[in-house]
A = this chain, B = another copy of it.
Amino acid sequence: MQTPYAVVDEAVLHANVTRMAAHARTLGLALRPHAKTHKTREIARLQLDAGAIGLTVATIGEAEVFADAGDLFVAYPLWVDAARAARLRAVAEQTVITLGIDSAEGAANLARHLPGATVLVEVDSGHHRTGVAPTMAGDVAAAAADAGLTVRGVFTFPGHAYAAGGRRQAAEDEAGALAAAADSLRGAGFADLVVSGGATPSAEYAGDTLTELRPGVYVFGDAQQWELGACAPDQIAYTVHATVVSHAHGRLVLDSGSKVLGADRAAYASGFGRLLDHPDARVVQLSEHHAVVEGAPRLPLGSIVRVVPNHVCNAVNLVDELVVGERRWAVAARGRNA
């Protein structure tokens, strides 16, 4: 096997899966991990065996791959047409499935193609991406019910937890937004609500406003979580093994570029990736097949190092398989954007 390739440390993976399951259990929350991070059937199975009530996915293509999970939530305001509806109906023959909506218009469109579909209303808790204002959630829920959908509750993604020092505040914002949204639905006559939140960086601070947590990255960890303080380096299960190919300018140049690490670099990131065994090292320059590293010892040419990608969800989506000891796990949902 030649570098660069993706390696999963199975012991660390198991510990991560177990720890988050215990955390959710302690909080009394259902755990519905987001499968977009690993896109791998074997890891989904581990999560379900550890007590997850089902999986979260982002696309219909992911739902198709994980249709045997028993209970899926597509945490996305899909714009459903006839072709998408046909695919969703096929998935629904295999598993319970819930969809996201974030507007009355989206709900009406969904109801036209999939009458009776079960939905959660997405609210914005501070990430400012999709989702309605929490106090408007009841209006969207009422419109959805009027259109013929089955409304089960509310969800949010507190993506602003991905900011230096932002984890606890994002969790508080999430709880506040979901509480307001749930109140808004109760005011519109809905009861027994699913209240779904969660993301790896904020999960530590989740409270009992929620009924369900949807973290994804925790199975692997990555340089972003490391730098946010949401994981320790010994909790990182996913690395790209790379070869030192050059000492140009007295630095290490590795054969792991953006085509295997991903090009993510958040504002708070200290580089384009890190080395697991050299905490002071940073990828300071990244091209498609070159990672230039500073802060590492001068390892000989030909050395193999373990690179921690910044954002593991995008890194996993670049490889066809994961190396797990002597086994290979297929990234079964790689590229399933649609």
A337 x B301 contact (CB < 8 A):
no
Within 8 A of B (CB), among A42-85: 58-60, 76-79, 81, 83-84
Q: Assess whether A282 is interfacial by the CB under 8 Å rule.
A: no
Q: Are A263 and B314 in contact (CB under 8 A)?
A: yes
Given A4-B337, A103-B246, A264-B263: A314 touches B79 (CB 8 Å cut-off): no
Q: Given B2, B58, B248, B338, which contacts A132 in the complex, CB threshold below 8 Å? A: B248
Say yes or no: A77 contacts B335, CB within 8 Å. no
Query: Do B2 and A302 have beta carbons less than 8 Å apart?
Result: no
Given A105-B301, A317-B318: A4 and B288 within 8 A (CB)? no
* Residues 130-180 (chain A) with a chain B CB within 8 angstroms: 130-132, 159
| A278 is an interface residue with CB less than 8 A from chain B | no
For A291, give the chain B residue with the smallest CB separation.
Answer: B129
Please measure, in the bound complex, the distance between the C-alpha atom of A78 and the C-alpha atom of B302, giving whole angstroms. 10
Do B314 and A335 have beta carbons less than 8 Å apart?
A: no
Q: Count identical subunits in the complex.
A: 2
Closest to A75 in B: B289
Question: For chain A, which range describes its interface: under 10, 10 to 19, 20 to 34, or 35 or more residues?
Answer: 35 or more
Q: Is the CB of A248 within 8 A of B60?
A: no
When A264-B263, A335-B320 are in contact, do A130 and B253 touch as well, CB less than 8 Å? yes
* Residue A185 at the chain B interface, CB threshold 8 Å: no
Q: Which residues 279-338 of A sit at the B interface, judged by CB distance below 8 A?
A: 285, 287-290, 292, 301-302, 311, 313-314, 317-320, 335, 337-338
Beta-carbon contact of B262 and A263 below 8 Å: yes
A302 contact from B60, B109, B128, B245, Cβ within 8 A: B109
Q: How many angstroms between the C-alpha atoms of A248 and B194 in the bound complex?
A: 22
Q: Do A3 and B338 have beta carbons less than 8 Å apart?
A: yes
Q: A287-B159, A292-B129, A318-B317 are known contacts. Are A4 and B263 too (CB-CB below 8 A)?
A: no
Kindly name the residue among A58, A84, A285 whose own CB sees the greatest number of chain B CB atoms within 10 A: A58
- A124 on the B face (CB < 8 A): yes
CB distance from A204 to the nearest CB of B (A): 21
Q: A2-B60, A288-B36 are in contact. Are A259 and B129 (CB under 8 A)?
A: no
Show the binding face of A for B, using Cβ within 8 Å.
Answer: 1-5, 36, 58-60, 76-79, 81, 83-84, 102-103, 105-106, 109, 124, 128-132, 159, 243-249, 253, 255-260, 262-265, 285, 287-290, 292, 301-302, 311, 313-314, 317-320, 335, 337-338
